[in-house]
Structure 1
Amino acid sequence: MGGSESEDQSVKVSDQVSSESIPTRKLRWKWGLAILFAGIGFTIYQWFQLAPDRTYQVFAVYGGIRNIFIGLLIWWMLISGVSWKARFKGLLGTILFFVLFFSLLRVESFEGDMVPRFQFRFLPTAEQRAEKYFEQAAKMPQESNADSSTLEVSPEDWPAYRGVDRDGIVRDQKIRTDWDVRPPELLWKHPVGSGWGSFAIIGDRAFTQEQRGEKETVVCYDALSGKQIWTHHDYVRFTEVLGGPGPRATPTFYDGMIYSMGATGILNCLNAITGELVWSKDLLEEEKLDNLQWAMSGSPLIWEDLVIVNQGIPQETSKVNPRSVVALDRLTGDKVWSGGKHKSSYSSPQLSILNEEPRLLIFHSKGLEGFTPQEGKSLWFFPWTNQAGVNAAQPIVIEPSSIFLGAGYGAGSARITIRESEQQAEPDVIEDWKSKSLKLKFNSAVVRDGFVYGLDEGILTCLNLETGKRAWKRGRYGYGQMILVNDNLLILAEDGRVELVKADPKKYTQIATFQAIQGQTWNHPALAQGKLFVRNSEEAACYDISDAAK
């Protein structure tokens, strides 16, 4: 008995000594909390002080999350004070969380401010839904009532990007605005291939561009039924992380032909009635040029016997000087001239009358340049750029000698005056004013009665063209697009809804709204014969909103 008690006491003493010899580990939580608060604080500072626009604010958040994560990882593995077993368990748990998250979800796309949109992986992609739709449609009769004899432009047609003058203004059409009483009448809606272009509509035909698998496709639809009439395919595919796959430009109709610019630089001339290829040019391949980061996006411009388009970027190994614009014979595709000395961007060529003379306006990466359309002679240049080197909005001639232009990524907007005379060797380019308001990232503005209306980082803004002062800023539409119909702004928001807002410099007044399509929408709306055509990279639809409709 005595021996047993002695052994028990010995064990107790041994356990006590053993427990005292093992140091107690304490979580050094204050260090982790300090890293978290410091990271959040610095991110908030960047949001308000360093970020010039919404995109840079989002980038600041991304950078803040990255820095906080790295800081907490270093704290947990090196400073936290917990056992190494706990540290590696925590690290393994974090890795498993991210593996599980991205096993269940995929990044479907990015919004205009670079915020990702997630979707469950078990759901079909937009491309898969479109592919299934066209497989089913191919098995069904595709009879169309569209006139197949001739196509001629009427005042109520929409033959090109943003309308006949590329100014986003609807003329010779009346629409109803009492959508609560007489809502827009859906004529058709169905999936389409990926792409960020809009429609050209002539008579009862609607033309657009889509990516269908590995084929970049020009499509002709029956405007009243949405049935496919013909397609033309090029076996190319462009895709990138932020914008996704598909062509970016809108086809142009002229004199019975459709002119299309593909994302990889393939310029096609097609018979608008049959879809038969007249001629085709691979501009990047033939001129030994590289593509733009987000692809060739400028819609072809027709002036007299020329088709005018943006060019790509000279390759590093090439000794050719930059040429931001090229003109081809519209009937043969033969090169007529090329001009400009600045890197191309995403705005489309614009033909306007300045000082009573036709002038070609090219808004490239470094600024706005004016040319003679006949021979491509550069006349003047106005520098207007941003950190990203991206100019995508259309310039607007607001008076016989004045131009409004805007850009995103913190650049803002400006009004310039071009003074030309026979006595001057070179025109004078005068900056009338500049403003941080109306940062047009990749959406264009419209002008009415001395005021310009546009989406300033997604918020509708009215600006006085005489002073550059903001009249008001209201309503959130994301990176959508707009057109002007009489005295109303018709806005196709980034989430696919359509709204009517009064083009009134005194106040913001919303008139009507409805959800037109689903999915991320950067495409321009088109209005022809009282019918509204909308699309994105997932689906397209046509609504009758004419004033005569019942």
Structure 2
Amino acid sequence: MSESGPPIELAVEQATDVETPRRKFRWKWGLGILLLGIAAIFYRWFQLAPDRTYQVFAVYEGIRNILVGLFIWWLLFSGLAWKARFKGLGGAALVLVLFLGLVRVESFEGDMVPRFRFRFSPTPEQRAKAYFEQIENKAEAKPKTAGQTLVTEAGDWPGYRGINRDGIAITQSIRTDWKTEPPELIWEHPVGAGWGSFCIVGDRVFTQEQRGDVEVVVCYEARTGQQLWVYADEVRFEETLGGVGPRATPSFDQGFLYTVGGTGVLHCFEAVSGIEVWTHDLLKEQNLNNLQWGMSGSPLIWENLVIVNQGLVMDTSELHQRSIIAFDKRTGKQVWTSGSRKSSYSSPQLAELQGVPQVLVFHAKGLESFAPADGRSLWFFPWTNQAGVNAAQPIVIDDSSVFIGSGYGVGSARLSIDKSGDEWKAEEVWTSKSPKLKFNSAVLRDGYVYGLDEGILTCLNLENGKRIWKKGRYGYGQMLLAGPMLLILAEDGSVELVKAEPEAYSQVAKFQALSGQTWNHPALAHGKLFVRNSEQAACYDISTVSKPLPAVETDR
């Protein structure tokens, strides 16, 4: 041992301690990134209120920023040994793989929030396939019979949102005390995917579905839900956010049925038999592209014409666009095509303004009016949003004014329509931030509009555009007006009755009609409520006096 210093062994230990200092885990940095990211999400959430869609997008963006920040901190600045850093990343990847292995994204809600289901549970399409295979094995083959006719009568629901496309059940009377007299389930069963509604004439119910690789037009018996005939096209429309299947609703006219599929196939059928009369592939024949969320406009019948929306051209300039096209409803011969603006998701709407019949088309750039006889453009009012999506039906208020509304932060407006000689003018009377009708149409009653403002029921005064009340959350469901009652089919499949009164929000009754995500419009015929979504369909008796549906009138 040397008297001038520490022992050799101790000196070596001290030197080793100096050379390998302990690593310091900088956990506060990671916590700071997490807290700052959460604070930024809350700030953006309240900044973007009340637009639910943009709020959800802000959450996605905020989560992405947090994950990127945590990844950079963990990999470069956490202070841990490299072995620990890689183990942490591997563990996180393993958790993600396990999660994705156990669950799947079934669909997205109207505000783009994902819906998850376990992977081992059957998909709605698989359940529908099993059901239809079962009934087809039991059913006897029935030959199609031409020459039969089907006629409309009071109480029918012959197309999208009723006889006038305004969501108003003019002749319907329904019971409202659902506690003592709850809706009676007549039938229910699985259906193929799709976001269209029902067309009901007599004892026939028509709709469109996706069944695997084929898109079908199907006729059910209203009394039993039994499938009567099916026509299939070997096409399939599928989109990540909007899901699978056709979007439009069949239209009935004088014994014939007209349909537009998700890929733009237009059909005319004999309604009773399902025999095809004529067809056009709107996109292929016109060399057009599909809309992002599919062809959604339901066919409009005017005199001898069937009028439908068109797709998109490769050239994005407005000079080359075509908004609508008209065919002879009996022969399928093209009569005219018109418009020079990008199509959207609203259906053509028949109106009479200043005593002149016209077709209103709420396309991506605004509301345009066309003369139905020759397609000549009468007037145009610009109205768009960042997404270029106008999906709600315009509402004709009176002979000289129209109400429009859309989502993505825009709101609604009342337009004044004036005619001087051959010149038309559409001017804004007022605009309002409410209701923002993303893809939900509103209804009109006694000078007030009732609509879902990003999922919240809202009453708006049409005289001045001021909101009267806003209450009740229904998601991105749909509604109709039956007498003094709003009948709302919510996004979760529940049905509610709310008084259509400006004095206050007043819920009257509620029941669960369907399970699963529901964006489809309800239909009401002869006191029977027909509802569906992309998984199931059902019929409920809510009439004041229960009576059978009328039989089909046929000429044999």
TM over 0.5, shorter chain: yes
Counterpart position of 1:448: 445
Q: Deviation of residue 128 (structure 1)?
A: 0.2
Alignment of 1:316-335 (within 5 A): 316=315, 321-335=320-334
SS of structure 2 residue aligned to 1:548 = coil
Counterpart position of 2:552: none
Q: Is the 8 A contact 1:482 1:524 kept in 2?
A: yes
What's the CA shift string for 1:262-285, capped at 9, x where partnerless?
Answer: 000100001111111111100100
The 2-side partners of 1:139 and 1:216 are apart by 20
State the one-letter code of the partner of 2:441.
S
Counterpart position of 1:315: 314
Q: Deviation of residue 41 (structure 1)?
A: 1.9
The alignment's TM-score, normalised by the length of structure 2, stands at 0.94
Give 2:464's match in structure 1, choosing from 463, 467, 470.
467
Give 2:487's match in structure 1, choosing from 485, 490, 498.
490
The 2-side partners of 1:52 and 1:328 are apart by 42
Q: Deviation of residue 509 (structure 1)?
A: 0.6
Alignment of 1:355-374 (within 5 A): 355-374=354-373
Alignment of 1:154-165 (within 5 A): 154-165=153-164
- Mind listing any 5+ residue stretches in structure 2 that lack a counterpart? 2-6, 548-556
Counterpart position of 1:90: 88
The 2-side partners of 1:39 and 1:45 are apart by 10
Alignment of 1:123-138 (within 5 A): 123-138=121-136
Q: Deviation of residue 184 (structure 1)?
A: 0.6
SS of structure 2 residue aligned to 1:375 = coil
Alignment of 1:148-547 (within 5 A): 149-316=148-315, 321-422=320-421, 425-547=422-544
Q: Is the 8 A contact 1:51 1:60 kept in 2?
A: no
The 2-side partners of 1:335 and 1:446 are apart by 33
Q: Is the 8 A contact 1:207 1:218 kept in 2?
A: yes
Q: Is the 8 A contact 1:142 1:228 kept in 2?
A: no
Counterpart position of 2:553: none
RMSD of aligned C-alpha atoms? Answer: 1.8
State the one-letter code of the partner of 2:176.
T
SS of structure 1 residue aligned to 2:386 = coil
The 2-side partners of 1:45 and 1:222 are apart by 53
Mean CA deviation greater in 226-235 or 33-42 = 33-42
Structure 2 CA distance for partners of 1:236 and 1:101, relative to 1, 3 Å: same
What's the CA shift string for 1:210-252, capped at 9, x where partnerless?
Answer: 0000000000000110010000000000101011110000000
Q: Deviation of residue 161 (structure 1)?
A: 0.1
Structure 2 CA distance for partners of 1:520 and 1:83, relative to 1, 3 Å: same
Q: Deviation of residue 35 (structure 1)?
A: 1.4
The 1-side partners of 2:258 and 2:511 are apart by 33
Q: Is the 8 A contact 1:314 1:320 kept in 2?
A: no
Q: Deviation of residue 52 (structure 1)?
A: 6.3
What's the CA shift string for 1:373-431, capped at 9, x where partnerless?
Answer: 11011011101110000000000001111000000001100000101132xx4212121
Structure 2 CA distance for partners of 1:357 and 1:142, relative to 1, 3 Å: farther
- Structure 1 stretches of 4+ moved >6 Å: 317-320
Q: Deviation of residue 50 (structure 1)?
A: 4.3
SS of structure 2 residue aligned to 1:314 = coil
Q: Is the 8 A contact 2:194 2:534 kept in 1?
A: yes
Q: Is the 8 A contact 1:288 1:318 kept in 2?
A: no
The 1-side partners of 2:63 and 2:354 are apart by 52
SS of structure 1 residue aligned to 2:423 = coil
SS of structure 2 residue aligned to 1:109 = strand
SS of structure 1 residue aligned to 2:320 = coil
The alignment's TM-score, normalised by the length of structure 1, stands at 0.96
Percent of paired sites with the same residue: 64
- Mind listing any 5+ residue stretches in structure 1 that lack a counterpart? 3-8
Q: Deviation of residue 319 (structure 1)?
A: 11
